Amino acid sequence: MTLIRGALTWSPGWPSPVATDVAIEGGRIARVGERLTPAAGEAVIDGTGKLLLPGFVNAHTHAQSHFAKGAIDGLPLELWLPYLGARVGMLKPQDLYVSTALGAIEMLKTGTTCACDMAQMPGLTDEAIDAVVRAYRDVGMRVALAAQVSDVPPWRSFEGLEEHLSQDVRNGMAAQPPASAPTVLAALRRAVERHHDSAEGRIRFGVGPSTPTSCTDELLVGVADLARELDLTVQTHVAETRAGAYTARVRYGASAVVKLDQLGLLGPRTLLAHSVWIDDRDMELVAARGATIAHNPVSNLKLGSGIAPLIKMREHGCHVGLGTDGSTSSDNQNLIGVMRLAAILPRVVDQRHENWPTAADVLTMAISGGARGAGFESIGAIAPGQLADLILVDLGPTYYHPRNDLIAQLVHADVGASVVTVIVNGEVVVRDGRVTRVDQDKLLAEADALGRRIADAVAPGLAGQIAAGAREALEAISRTPLMREVSALGPFRTG
Ligand SMILES: [Zn+2]
């Protein structure tokens, strides 16, 4: 039993922070009210001078890439991916553990208590999956984990690429062929049996088709069946770049959103990352089916993917959460920075200022928007019966002086360094800014060694050849009428 006393408290839907105490019992919020009295034996956390909020939910990230932050820059997604793939392909299970733990610590310390993680694991072995799960479990974070899977050869990752890669390059890529749909589905089922609803309910395991076009229909249908049978969350990338949207139109004669809907993969348990190049019909479908879009403005700018139509999504009634994306396209896991960009970026697209998202809007997206996408019941609000995933933000730093509007100052002034206490499932996992369950110094030393080892060993030759082919392919498809049609989706969504 724990009582948080004396804090200013805010939850989505509240007009402004108010002095409210919160009592926790058995991992859930038991009481909410003014000046609560501690029960016998109840631990007290002093919230004086602090802002108490539900923890943020990072609606999109990737466990495997945190070790490579800062390593790859200045490339669009299709040219960046081969360099990331070269690094990730070298990771062993313990490396995945270290990378995952590094990202989880960074998320917790910047106020994120739950992640939606599409973890890509070389080979999709049981050992690799277990290492990622173990890292989240050890750090104590809540996670909706989806193994990122595909079964289409990498030279077909986008339409036009294959024709611009030599046979030698394709042979090099074939050294790590994708597993077949039945093999992938069997591995997912085993992982769900081992890990779904584990770690006192903190870990949900789901399915993550990398993109619809990187999977065969056989795999997509199998994933849909598995998700329906076992009530799993589905996470996937949709229309992240113009080339991605173009590929769906060439292969399906329709958008990826329409294709997902046709296969029964679009529903309240579906999380669509990015959704930059989607049209009005897509947004209507997403809203009608109750799916959630994970908006990743930092990653979309870093990779030059474009600006997602956030205002239009909201006008259509789409549910939207906020994500950092992985650490090679972000390059951090600080959701406060994402909130700020989500609030101000739409202003260059739409001059109707009354449509601009407010600080409270983006904070709500970062809390309850992501919570909905993560698929956990009862997170994302401060109310009796909700799971106790809470953060305390220190109002001492300059960002909060003078106190004009605490929510606006959190979103626009803070840089993510003021979170001092983090509680997940009623347990304090960050106290006085330090993680409580793992040895951070030891993990950082392991991450440093991992980074050096991969940087020394990575051979950029093949990645460079793939990237060169991707560049030629992008130029070739940019001249097609269909690509011009995709580009017309928005002048500020240029890629
Ligand atoms: Zn992603």
pLDDT in tens, 210-227: 999 999 999 999 999 999
What separation in Å is there between the alpha carbon of 5 and the centre of ligand 1? Answer: 38
Tell me what pLDDT residue 349 has: 87
Asked if residues 63 and 96 have their Cβ atoms less than 8 Å apart, the reply is yes
Tell me what pLDDT residue 150 has: 95
Question: In the sheet that 112-119 helps form, which strands lie side by side, from edge to edge?
Answer: 56-61, 112-119, 142-149, 203-209, 234-238, 270-274, 292-295, 319-322
235: alpha, beta or left? (left if phi > 0; alpha if psi -120 to 50) = beta
Q: Is the pLDDT of residue 419 over 80?
A: yes
Partners of 135 in beta bridges:
none
What separation in Å is there between the alpha carbon of 85 and the centre of ligand 1? Answer: 13
Asked if residues 58 and 107 have their Cβ atoms less than 8 Å apart, the reply is yes
- Residue ranges with CB less than 5 Å from ion ligand 1: 325
Please compute the mean of the pLDDT values over residues 445-452 and round it to a whole number.
Answer: 97
What separation in Å is there between the alpha carbon of 178 and the centre of ligand 1? Answer: 18
* Helical (H) or strand (E) element with 294: strand 292-295
Task: State phi, psi for 181 to the nearest 5 degrees.
Answer: -55, -45
- Choose among 452, 327, 334: nearest CA to 72: 327
Asked if residues 295 and 240 have their Cβ atoms less than 8 Å apart, the reply is no
What separation in Å is there between the alpha carbon of 296 and the centre of ligand 1? Answer: 9
pLDDT: is 492 or 357 the higher one? 357
What separation in Å is there between the alpha carbon of 46 and the centre of ligand 1? Answer: 38
Q: Is the pLDDT of residue 494 over 60?
A: no
Q: What angle do CA 199, 201, 207 make, to 5 degrees?
A: 95
What separation in Å is there between the alpha carbon of 273 and the centre of ligand 1? Answer: 7
Partners of 119 in beta bridges:
147
Percent of all residues in the chain with a pLDDT value above 90, rounded to a whole number: 93
CA distance 101 to 443: 8
Where residue 134 falls among pLDDT bands split at 50, 70, 90?
very high
- CA torsion angle for 110, 111, 116, 119 (degrees, to 10)? 30
What separation in Å is there between the alpha carbon of 33 and the centre of ligand 1? Answer: 40
What separation in Å is there between the alpha carbon of 81 and the centre of ligand 1? Answer: 11
- Choose among 12, 48, 9: nearest CA to 394: 48
Percent of all residues in the chain with a pLDDT value above 70, rounded to a whole number: 99
Tell me what pLDDT residue 460 has: 74
CA distance 389 to 438: 19
DSSP H helical segments within 375-459, as ranges? 406-412, 440-457
Tokens 């990498």 -> residue: 154
- CA torsion angle for 83, 84, 85, 90 (degrees, to 10)? 100
Please compute the mean of the pLDDT values over residues 316-324 and round it to a whole number.
Answer: 98
Q: Is the pLDDT of residue 68 over 70?
A: yes
Tell me what pLDDT residue 282 has: 97
What separation in Å is there between the alpha carbon of 37 and the centre of ligand 1? Answer: 45
What separation in Å is there between the alpha carbon of 292 and the centre of ligand 1? Answer: 15
What separation in Å is there between the alpha carbon of 453 and the centre of ligand 1? Answer: 24
Where residue 495 falls among pLDDT bands split at 50, 70, 90?
very low
Tell me what pLDDT residue 175 has: 80
Q: Is the pLDDT of residue 403 over 80?
A: yes
Partners of 393 in beta bridges:
51, 419
Neighbouring residues of 165: CB distance < 8 A, sequence distance ≥ 6: 155, 173, 465, 466, 469
What separation in Å is there between the alpha carbon of 443 and the centre of ligand 1? Answer: 24
Q: Is the pLDDT of residue 459 over 70?
A: yes
Please compute the mean of the pLDDT values over residues 271-275 and round it to a whole number.
Answer: 97
What separation in Å is there between the alpha carbon of 3 and the centre of ligand 1? Answer: 38
What separation in Å is there between the alpha carbon of 357 and the centre of ligand 1? Answer: 23
What separation in Å is there between the alpha carbon of 213 and the centre of ligand 1? Answer: 15
Tell me what pLDDT residue 490 has: 73
What separation in Å is there between the alpha carbon of 322 and the centre of ligand 1? Answer: 12
CA 173 to chain centre: 27
CA distance 495 to 491: 10
pLDDT in tens, 8-17: 999 999 999 9
pLDDT: is 172 or 116 the higher one? 116
Q: Is the pLDDT of residue 491 over 80?
A: no
| DSSP 8-state assignment for residue 354 | G
What separation in Å is there between the alpha carbon of 34 and the centre of ligand 1? Answer: 42
What separation in Å is there between the alpha carbon of 338 and the centre of ligand 1? Answer: 14
pLDDT in tens, 331-346: 999 999 999 999 999 9
What separation in Å is there between the alpha carbon of 444 and the centre of ligand 1? Answer: 24
Tell me what pLDDT residue 458 has: 87
